[in-house]
Structure 1
Amino acid sequence: MLASIDVRMLLVLEALLEHRNVTHAARHLDLSQPSVSRALTRLRLIFNDDLLVRGSRGMVPTPHAECLAQMLPMVLNSIRGMVNCGVAQGKSRSTVRIAMPDHQAIVLLPPLLPLLHERASDLDIVTDSDLTGAVRRLEQGEIDLAIGQIGSAPQSYFRRRLYPDHFACLLRSDHPVLAQDWTIDTFTALRHAAVASDAKDGFDRVQDELAKLGVRDRDPVLVSNILTAALAIMATDLVLVVPCRVATKVAALLPLAIVDPPVDLSPYEVALIWHERCHRDPDHRWLRHEIAAAAAEQSQQQARGQSINEASRL
């Protein structure tokens, strides 16, 4: 019997039980009176009951119809909730998992978290610094989004460019090399710090480029994350090559100097990637918009900071 019922029949039954008049129910549903009459006939067959019978002041419900009238709102509200389940404010999703390297978390989380707290205070953000297998994990729902140096989106995936970047060098602010000519030879003579990573997140690509140019330290000091590397170079003569936005964030916290590399390195572009399974989800779409807004705000802050630095040098 369940296969013989569709939502439209239940909506007709709801209107008939509310108005107890075929003509009024038809007007409420924007249907013709004959179509509602036919629907009532079909409903009577489905439930094996008259449901509504003529009375002195219109139609009156049978006991079975009165029972259905109590159950119907819950059933229809559940169906409406299924159709409108996506509350595009992060309400229906309590936890979101995002894979992003820690150096990008330093850049994006400061502008992103206040936006989320203001608009979806109950939403928990869990970050994973490991981008290994991100494509597979997106498909299987282990993570919701991935952020990093992602050149292209495979089939069934979507990619959104967040911002471009270039590489910069970090040294301690009183490093003796800062008083010398900053040349390739000076740069090559320094020992490098490098963030160890098995994931091809794009940050490690700069080490490959330096090696091709013959200026990479053959025995770099490997550390686990960007902040550990920053603390190491603050106390040593090491140099660290990182995306410029990351360098700006770290140098604002520690006594470090930022200088451009004396060699040309490929630009660095950060992108957001997600799987087709979540593409049309309203909550997911809302979160992607918030991440893009946070990235745009960070870009504006970066531009303002560069303007201030340029003005201070005049």
Structure 2
Amino acid sequence: MLTSNSHDWQQGLAHQGTTLRGVDLNLLTVFDAVMQEQNITRAAKNLNMSQPAVSNAVARLKVMFKDDLFMRQGRGISPTLRARQLFVPVRQALQLVKNELPGAVFDPATSTNTFSIAIGTPNDVRFAPQLIKTTTEKAPNVKLNLDSHGGVSLHEKLKQQELDFVIDYTRFEQPGFVSTELYSDELVVICANDHPRLGNKHQISMEQLLAEQHARLSPASDVMGLSDRIYKSLEVTSSYRGATLGNLIAVSAQSELICVVPRWVKDFFPTNLGIHALPFPGELAEIKAYLTWHESRENDEAHVWMREQLMTVCGEVVTKDR
């Protein structure tokens, strides 16, 4: 089913007296490639076309949409507002057509697909080695782009197919996205071995947890949903904000601050660091992680294959961690 944006775009064409019969739909694949690369030469290479042919197609697109679409910027080009508005519905429409083409069978042994996956640190360290190894064995020509810097625009990147998947501790609830539980991690409270109030204890109460000074993730951290989930209903004082869970553990090991992390992260660090782990009190003993993608890719055979690899590899690694 086409999106409302795609519907508006088609209605716009009809209003201009244009019908699909009079439109060269091959131009839309050129538009998609140029939007992705924002460079005529690279787009031509990806399309296996000559640069003049792509330039000519762009000129025809400008006439079709009655907009410049692309403006020169340095050595590349920059899309206009109209081009940006068209990009998502055109991409989704092309993907839907591609999914339904006869004979469109994905073969991992010969595929040259590229998959872009956002995995916030330190889960990138946890899963990337095995993901790369497994993909290389099963699909030697497939390329993985694993990015630990998710940023704040994950929804848009998935929607525009700049990203294929997100692995995160946040479930995407917005319409148009599919999130499935991937694994769960046990939470522990970390303090220094010689912490004056907690170092010799085997448990910590919620009252003690709230009373201590905390080392927490910075709002700009790439562990995208973890801190929000842990501290959603807890009012604590944070004396330190770090970029990674490793930073929080290192600071807590050398001070009276405490931090909350998944147990596997604690076990990942050397035992000589001098840290002590206590079970997290209260109801949030575990935190769930999710694999998310955009619904427009639901039936894409290549996407389904990669989805299965992610679920399998992450499941095996998590089981091994335990």
1:186 Cα deviation from its structure 2 partner: 4.2
Aligned length: 218
The structure with higher relative contact order (CA 8 Å, sep 6+) is: 1
1:149 Cα deviation from its structure 2 partner: 2.1
Q: Give the corresponding residue for 1:75.
A: none
Distance of 2:272 and 2:311 partners within structure 1: 25
AA in 1 matched with 2:233: E
**Change over 3 Å in CA distance of 1:172–1:107 after alignment to 2:** farther
AA in 2 matched with 1:119: K
Q: Give the corresponding residue for 1:105.
A: 124
Q: Give the corresponding residue for 1:138.
A: 158
Q: Give the corresponding residue for 1:201.
A: 225
1:228 Cα deviation from its structure 2 partner: 2.1
AA in 1 matched with 2:174: P
Q: Give the corresponding residue for 1:161.
A: 181
Distance of 1:281 and 1:263 partners within structure 2: 42
AA in 1 matched with 2:199: L
**Change over 3 Å in CA distance of 1:284–1:252 after alignment to 2:** farther
| 8 Å Cα contact 2:109/2:140 also seen in 1 | no
Q: Give the corresponding residue for 2:200.
A: 179
Q: Give the corresponding residue for 2:265.
A: 246
**Change over 3 Å in CA distance of 1:255–1:302 after alignment to 2:** same
| 8 Å Cα contact 1:161/1:271 also seen in 2 | yes
SS of the aligned residue for 1:137 comes to helix
Distance of 2:272 and 2:133 partners within structure 1: 20
Q: Give the corresponding residue for 2:133.
A: 114
1:127 Cα deviation from its structure 2 partner: 1.0
AA in 1 matched with 2:158: L
1:272 Cα deviation from its structure 2 partner: 0.4
AA in 2 matched with 1:288: R
Q: How far does the alpha carbon of each residue in 1:183-242 deviate from its partner, in whole angstroms, 9 at most, with x for none? A: 43543443211111257614322123321xxxx2x2330011122222222332321101
Structure 1, unaligned stretches of length 5 or more? 4-80, 304-314
Pick from 216, 220, 234: which aligns with 1:210?
Answer: 234
| 8 Å Cα contact 2:117/2:144 also seen in 1 | no
Distance of 1:203 and 1:87 partners within structure 2: 39
Q: Give the corresponding residue for 2:96.
A: none
Distance of 2:170 and 2:151 partners within structure 1: 10
1:162 Cα deviation from its structure 2 partner: 0.7
Distance of 1:253 and 1:190 partners within structure 2: 24
Q: How far does the alpha carbon of each residue in 1:142-191 deviate from its partner, in whole angstroms, 9 at most, with x for none? A: 21111112335533322221112232112234444322474435434432
Q: Which structure is higher in helix share?
A: 1
Q: How far does the alpha carbon of each residue in 1:96-150 deviate from its partner, in whole angstroms, 9 at most, with x for none? A: 2212221332333243232223223442333143252322210101211111123
Q: Give the corresponding residue for 1:92.
A: 112
Distance of 2:110 and 2:148 partners within structure 1: 20
| 8 Å Cα contact 2:191/2:258 also seen in 1 | yes
AA in 2 matched with 1:264: E
**Change over 3 Å in CA distance of 1:168–1:295 after alignment to 2:** same
1:85 Cα deviation from its structure 2 partner: 5.8
**Change over 3 Å in CA distance of 1:225–1:116 after alignment to 2:** same
AA in 2 matched with 1:112: L
1:151 aligns with 2:171: yes
| 8 Å Cα contact 2:189/2:279 also seen in 1 | yes
Distance of 1:207 and 1:187 partners within structure 2: 11
SS of the aligned residue for 2:233 comes to helix
Distance of 2:103 and 2:288 partners within structure 1: 37
Pick from 257, 264, 289: which aligns with 2:308?
Answer: 289
Normalization by structure 2: what TM-score? 0.58
SS of the aligned residue for 2:248 comes to helix
Pick from 69, 83, 90: which aligns with 2:103?
Answer: 83
1:265 Cα deviation from its structure 2 partner: 2.5
**Change over 3 Å in CA distance of 1:183–1:175 after alignment to 2:** same
AA in 2 matched with 1:228: N
Distance of 1:229 and 1:279 partners within structure 2: 38
SS of the aligned residue for 2:111 comes to coil
Q: Which structure has the greater CA radius of gyration?
A: 1
